[in-house]
A and B are shown apart, each in its own frame.
Chain A
Amino acid sequence: MSIPLSWYLILSAGLFGVGLYGVLARKNAIAILLSVELMLNAVNINLVAFWRYLDPAQMAGQAFAIIVFAVAAAEVAVGLALIISVYRRRKTVVADDIDLMKW
């Protein structure tokens, strides 16, 4: 185990940045959800790295990573359900075209 903690932190920051770019730049709603998954994984890398490097006897990091898994699964299920529902009604999955609520 000779990897400094900072490597993990930089990698997760990179993953988070890429995910953020995807969320903001992609048109397709499914692609936006994919990018959100990348961001959630960046968070998880940090949680697990801090668990391993700070206090392995305390399971906080791993326990919260598991809760992030559950939240991610819930988010994907609801998000995809919304996308499929919108697609049925409006025949589009482009986030820009779903603008009925815009004044």
Chain B
Amino acid sequence: MTAEQIIFLLTGALILVSALLVVTVRNLLHAALWLVVALFGVAVLYAILQASFLAVVQVVVYIGAIAILFIFAVMLTRREMRDTGPQTRPNWWIAALLGALVLTGLIVIMLAVPGADRTPAALPEGLDTVWALGNALVSPEAYVLPFEVASVLLLAALVGAVYVAGVGKKS
């Protein structure tokens, strides 16, 4: 077992354990913080996969923006966060069953992917992934249209969120 495999296994265990804690822990703020840990683990995976840009963006976007948004939402709706009463629906076992079913199904399908046991070739010589990604996102032959659509989506979501959550002028 190489050092890289050990790092992967440790990170994977961290991600899965903290993901389980996200969905089971009673205190919602703790759940949000466990989500941060899980997302940080995913950033480590991106680093192992040599997607350095995504690894850093994962920390900036998820931990820097989304997690903090969550923490604020938890605090704004704090009165309902008391640890009384069950945090799960009464028929949670159906959910657990469905989750397990999907998990096994996914694993079966994914292991059937041709070449699932392959190990990656080295990155092509002289390939600057950050440069290539930036180029792919703005070149017309590649992904400029999805990229622009995503930015319009973000803008629309922003306007919608401000409108929905805003107090507005009471007439």
Contact = CB atoms under 8 A, between A and B. Distances in A.
Interface of A: 1-11, 13-28, 30-31, 33-35, 37-38, 41, 44-45, 48-49, 51-53, 56-57, 59-60, 62-67, 69-78, 80-85, 87, 91-94, 96
A15 B58 CA distance: 16
B38 A38 contact: yes
Interface of B: 2, 4-5, 8, 12, 15-16, 19-20, 22-23, 28, 31-32, 35, 38-39, 42, 45-46, 48-51, 53-54, 57-58, 61-62, 65-66, 69-70, 73-74, 76-77, 79-81, 86-89, 92, 94-96, 98-100, 102-103, 106-107, 110-111, 113, 115-124, 127, 129, 132-133, 135-137, 142-143, 146-147, 150-151, 153-154, 156-158, 160-162, 164-165
Contacts of B146: 63-64, 67
Contacts of A48: 45-46, 49, 51, 54
A36 to B, nearest CB: 11
B28 A73 contact: no
A11 B11 CA distance: 10
B95 A15 contact: no
A78 B51 contact: no
B118 A63 contact: no
Contact of A52 (B2, B50, B61): B50
Nearest to B134: A59
B151 A70 contact: yes
